[in-house]
Structure formats: C-alpha cells, structure tokens
Amino acid sequence: MRAVREHPRLVVAKVLGLLAVAACGLLLGFLLRGDTGADASADAARTAQVRLISTQQTLRSEAGLLETMRAQLDRSRTARKRTAVRLRTAQRASAKLRRDLRRVRRALSRARESP
C-alpha cells in the first residue's frame, strides 16, 4: 500500500502493463488456435466422432485378430495332444521291442551254450 501512496502512476502503469501482456497472450492463443465459437464446437464434435469411429474400427479388427489367434491356439493345442499320444504309443512300442530283443538275445545265448 505504501507503494501506491508514494508512486500511484507507477503502480497504475504496472497494472496496465500486466493486463496488456495477459490480453496479448489470450489474443495470440485465440489466433493460433483459429477457433471461433460454433464452428469450433462443431469441429470438435466432428473430430471426436472421427476418433470414435476410428477407435471402433481398430477394436473390431483387433477382436477379429484375437479370435483368429485363439483358433490357432486351439488347433496347436489339439495337434500337441495328438503328438503326445503318438509319442507315448511310440515309447511303449519301443520299450516292447527292447524287451523282445533282450529275450531273443538271451535265447540265442542259451542256444549257443547248450550242446
């Protein structure tokens, strides 16, 4: 308050300068944006609608891709199960063949030893 009493013209000049700087900033922002009232809100609505449609299309394509990947995953799981069954069958057959081979070798060994 002391400054106002001692230098009233200087305080008024500072306040007016501050208001001028703020007005220039608002004016520059308004000019750079280029929006004018109703046109600005219509443009914003159109932009939002375009973004929404684009997002919906992206989500639909992603959902389709997800379904495709799930189908591929199911086919892979089925193929893996079939392969696992074949592997177990082959392992059992291999073990049976090894037992038979040992049995035949023992029989041959006994046949050579006995006169």
Residue-wise pLDDT tens digits, 81-105? 999 999 999 999 999 999 999 999 9
The three-class DSSP label of residue 10 is: helix
The answer, as to whether pTM is greater than 0.75, is: no
**Cα Rg of the chain (Å, integer):** 44
First to last CA, the chain: 134
Contact 60, 66 (CB under 8 A): no
Contact status, residue 94 vs residue 87, Cβ threshold 8 Å: no
Q: Give the integer Cα–Cα distance in Å for 60 and 47.
A: 20
Q: How confident is the model at residue 3 (pLDDT cuts 50, 70, 90)?
A: low
Give the model confidence (pLDDT) of 15-54 as tens digits: 888 888 888 888 887 777 765 566 767 888 888 899 999 9
Residue the block writes with tokens 């922002």:
29
Structure tokens at 12: 């008024």
